[in-house]
Structure 1
Amino acid sequence: MSDRIFVWVGHPRHTSLSRGLADAYQSAAEGAGAEVRRMDLSHMSFDPDLTEGYHSRKTLEPCLESWRENTMWADHLVWLYPQWWGGMPAKMKGVIDRSFLPGFAMRYHEKGLWWDRLLTGRSADIFMTSDAPVIWDAISYRRAARNQVERTVLNFAGVKPLRTFQFGPVKTARPEKIDAWLDKAAARGRQIVTRSAK
């Protein structure tokens, strides 16, 4: 049972399908008894550039400190974002670049290529939207945006299991299709809370 859920909307625009999906998920999860914290990328103000890589640390802005605190607090993460140019939005990537640092998300061994995963014990749901059909993303892009978040970010830090929900094409979706996607997000929000409580 997931009692503490951190919902992060990774769309830089305030009004978006990602936000609608987050609203549906959050409402259902809270209705099922979970405690939910939420942050929206559109309300986060920070420098997204990791100028010196890991060689010199920038002071984290308050919103990034809060984002990290919420990530550590949660036992279940929910990331919702659009696929742009085969990946996540640049500002969303900036949060990860600045926040998923050694000592927080992972710790590299002094010798060799291995690392410790520091976010183990957490699961995640990923909701990704796109104007491209889902099958096109699989065939042409080889699920690059999904792999980026699933494998090179969350799995790398020890977050598992993961489940990804991919919705598209958004630009040609009729209202009833949008409603079906919102219903699916709500159903998942309820399920993640109640699945182990039965």
Structure 2
Amino acid sequence: MRGKKVLLILGHPAGDSFCGALAERYRQAASAAGHEVQLLRLGELAFDPLLHRGYAGVQPLEPDLLAAQEHIRWAQHLVFVFPVWWGGVPALLKGFLDRVLLPGFAFRYRKGSPFPEKLLKGRTAHLLVTMDTPPWYYRWFQRMPALHQMRRTTLAFCGIRSLQTQVYGPLLNASAQRRERWLGKVEALAAG
């Protein structure tokens, strides 16, 4: 992944969260490895996260969402950093995806086919995910709904290929040493 254009999307509303620390460590390591990196903090964007009429009507994009689409067009590799809340992605991230990954930008419906034209083909992604649930429990008992949603029903639908997912948890009561090990894993991933 040498010399790529990388877009980090921080899906936690609070920038001072552990997700924020993961995003910042990834940004630093990827920049040091020679990648061009941009960081999009969803909690700092001004937009309505509701897609009020689905695709039945046109809902104009706010300036921050138009800029986000330009960042996605620019990027070769996307990194989504988010917590799992109630088994899924935070509402802010879901609303961002609903509003930005629109027909004509991320995909195009084809007449007579249930399968879309994938307009973001050629891009790759990493998912960096935190949770308070033990990851083994989330995988085997809860069946990883947020990860399936992101990898299969969102990113793959638009043509973005997920390369790797790293899950950090349980975050609740994790020691400073454990958190630093997780930050080291993110650093190694970004530099690789």
Deviations 1:56-105 (A, max 9, x none): 11110111111111111010000000000010000110000011111111
The alpha-carbon distance between structure 1 residues 110 and 59, as it changes in their structure 2 partners (threshold 3 A), is: same
Letter in 2 for 1:19: G
Q: Tell me how far apart the structure 1 counterparts of residues 145 and 115 of structure 2 sit (CA, whole Å).
A: 24
Deviations 1:153-175 (A, max 9, x none): 11111111421000100012111
Residue 145 of structure 2 is matched in structure 1 by 144
RMSD: 0.9
- Residues 2 and 76 in structure 1, CA contact (< 8 A), matched pair in contact too: no
Equivalences for residues 1-198 of structure 1 within 5 A: 1-191=2-192
Letter in 2 for 1:174: S
Letter in 1 for 2:14: R
Deviations 1:173-193 (A, max 9, x none): 1110000000111111110xx
SS in 1 for 2:47: coil
Letter in 2 for 1:35: E
CA drift at 1:14: 2.3
Deviates more, 1:123-132 or 1:160-169: 160-169
Letter in 2 for 1:152: T
Letter in 1 for 2:17: S
Q: Tell me how far apart the structure 1 counterparts of residues 23 and 122 of structure 2 sit (CA, whole Å).
A: 22
Q: Tell me how far apart the structure 1 counterparts of residues 37 and 7 of structure 2 sit (CA, whole Å).
A: 6
Q: Tell me how far apart the structure 1 counterparts of residues 65 and 180 of structure 2 sit (CA, whole Å).
A: 32
Ranges in structure 1 where 5+ consecutive residues have no aligned partner: 192-198
Q: Tell me how far apart the structure 1 counterparts of residues 39 and 89 of structure 2 sit (CA, whole Å).
A: 19
Q: Tell me how far apart the structure 2 counterparts of residues 116 and 27 of structure 1 sit (CA, whole Å).
A: 35
CA drift at 1:112: 2.7
Deviations 1:116-170 (A, max 9, x none): 1111111111001000000110122101110010001111111114210001000
Give the count of matched residue pairs.
Answer: 191
Ranges in structure 2 where 5+ consecutive residues have no aligned partner: none
Q: Tell me how far apart the structure 2 counterparts of residues 104 and 50 of structure 1 sit (CA, whole Å).
A: 15
Q: Tell me how far apart the structure 1 counterparts of residues 3 and 86 of structure 2 sit (CA, whole Å).
A: 33
Taking only the aligned residue pairs, the percentage that are identical comes to 38
Report which structure shows greater RCO (CA 8 Å, sep ≥6): 1
- Residues 127 and 166 in structure 2, CA contact (< 8 A), matched pair in contact too: yes
SS in 2 for 1:21: helix
SS in 2 for 1:126: strand
